[in-house]
Amino acid sequence: MSGTIYSVITGTGSYIPSKRIRNEDFLTNEFYDIDGKKLEKTSQGIIDKFQEITTIKERRYVTDDLVTSDISYYAAMDAIKSANIDKEELDYIIVAHNFGDVSNDNKRLDIVPSIAARVKHNLEIQNPYTIAYDLPFGCPGWLQGIIQADYFIKSGDVTKVLVIGADILSRVSDPHDRDSMLYADGAGATVLEAKKSDNPIGILAHKTRSDTLSYSKMLYMGKSYKTDNENKDDFFLKMNGRKLYQYAIEKVPQAIKDCLEKINTHLSEIKKVLIHQANGKMDDAIIKRLYKLYDIVNVPKNIMPMTIDWLGNSSVATIPTLLDLLLKDKLETHKINKGDTIVFASVGAGMNINTLIYKM
């Protein structure tokens, strides 16, 4: 068959943990500021303000027996089944994560062998030419894995790539830090295949930026805000929330516009915008600023599917999980149709931003 080689999504999968952690479950937490001073507001007041700012009502945590490689495997199995492919035909397995396997009783990072190698082992793939590697890239990791897969496929030597995004943030979050209420656990997986077509399909364009000079320390690892905490020697995920928020709403809309301009596509042609589920109000601000760049005052209804209010921020897993739910008609008010052009965008530690245009 003649035509251009495109990277096309043929299967998706996800693992949504069973433990539902509601905001009221944090009522017994003692919250402190960065200087180790206990916050004067009551826990109820802190939680109410948190929900107002983020829109998060609950999130999901894994059970004590699971680690990141386990939930990556479950999402991978789901995606492989969805794509209806022979797992032995996979050329690459790319696992985007940030914290590797952190067990419930040991907070040390465990990434040898790689999470991807563990997933390949659990899948019982015998093919030595299924190359498995990890990709740490902050929250945009899964999308960067998709971008790398596209380069592999466009080379002409690769036909099938499995890209997984998985993290267990509940085990690296400080219970005495308000930001701990943001974080969740989960995994999402996607199978990309090479398809020849005379008309554009699949991945049409992508763009990535890394603003490390001024913004590399917006997310970092640090000790508990409660200085006499029994886990005082452990390191937890920390965030400069205000500066990150400002960075995201300033840079992400322009990054999306720049990507659309690569293929001379106007925002009005886009049917859905799938943004990393970091903070509900932040994503609302991003989408409004994006449309403002095009002098469009009213953002179309149902343009931006959201799951953060019930799944929280599961880092690299948010977008592939969202995509899986969408494609399997599990989000009541949203649907993607054949021929639709959609946008993916993510922002996170680095600071990194990436965006991708895809035609269904």
pLDDT computed for residue 108 by the predictor: 86
Count the alpha carbons within 13 Å of 100 in the hemisphere toward its beta carbon: 14
Q: Which residue bears the tokens 């700012």?
A: 53
Q: What is the DSSP letter of 13?
A: E
| Homologous superfamily in CATH for domain 4-197 | Thiolase/Chalcone synthase (3.40.47.10)
Asked: is 202-359 a CATH 3.10.20.30 domain? The reply is no
In the chain, list all ranges with CATH 3.40.47.10: 4-197, 202-359
284, 331, 303, 235: which is closest to 16 by C-alpha? 331
Provide DSSP, 191-243: EEEEEEESS--EEEEEEEEE-HHHHTTSEEEE--SSTT-TTTTS-EEEE-HHH
pLDDT of residue 234: 85
Question: And the tokens for 187?
Answer: 């995994």
| Per-residue pLDDT tens digits of the chain, which is 360 residues long | 578 999 999 999 999 999 999 999 999 999 999 999 999 999 999 999 999 999 999 999 999 999 999 999 999 999 999 999 999 999 999 999 999 999 999 888 999 999 999 999 999 999 999 999 999 999 999 999 999 999 999 999 999 999 999 999 999 999 999 999 999 999 999 999 999 999 999 999 999 999 999 999 999 999 999 988 666 678 899 999 899 999 999 999 999 999 999 999 999 999 999 999 999 999 999 999 999 999 999 999 999 999 999 999 999 999 999 999 999 999 989 999 999 999 999 999 999 999 999 999
CB 358 within 8 A of CB 204: yes
